[in-house]
Amino acid sequence: MVKTVLSTSHRGLSEWFIQRVSAIVIAVYSIGLIGYFASHSEISFAEWHGLFSNLWMKVATVLFVLSILFHAWVGMWTIITDYVKPYVISLILNVLIFFALLSCFFWVFFILWSV
């Protein structure tokens, strides 16, 4: 992942594609969740907990989080490429962001696992 994004030999088509697909997943999931909040004015712990114990909700949430991480990765890479010119610093920032996003994924994954 780090290698493909940071190499200059390819044309960024896969990043462009990842950005669009992940954007659609994020939009669908968040609009769905907003709809859930809008239709349930008072949510109890049992309901909220029960929602995330459904297998389909776990799968959807993992897909959602993965999409966010890929989306954020491409987005942050774009920002860093535009504003951070020294190669070494941008490389370090990219790697740090990659590991921060990766740990966010495992964080969510283990919480979901325990629900």
Partner 1 sequence: MIIHRPKNLNLFTIHFPLPAIVSILHRVSGFALFILIPVVIWIWSLSIGSPDTFDIVQQWLSSPWFKFILWLFLIPFCYHLVAGIRHLLMDVHVGEELKSGRLAAWITMAVAAALVILVGVWLW
> Could you list the residues that contact partner 1 (CB under 8 A)?
20, 23-24, 27, 30, 38, 45, 48-49, 52, 68, 72, 75-76, 79, 101, 104, 107-108, 111, 115
CA distance 53 to 89: 42
CA distance linking residue 68 with residue 26, whole number of Å: 7
Tell the smallest beta-carbon distance from residue 75 to partner 1 (Å).
5
Instruction: Locate 71 and state its tokens.
Output: 């989306």
Nearer to partner 1, 79 or 95 (CB): 79
Minimum gap (Å) between residue 12 Cβ and partner 1: 14
For residue 74, give the nearest of 29, 28, 23, 109 by alpha carbon.
23
Q: Smallest gap, in angstroms, from Cβ of residue 107 to partner 1?
A: 6
- Please report the DSSP string for 4-24 in residue order: HHH-SSS-SHHHHHHHHHHHH
Q: Which is nearer to partner 1, 9 or 92 (CB)?
A: 92
Nearer to partner 1, 6 or 23 (CB): 23
**Residue 83 or residue 87: which is nearer to partner 1 going by CB?**
83
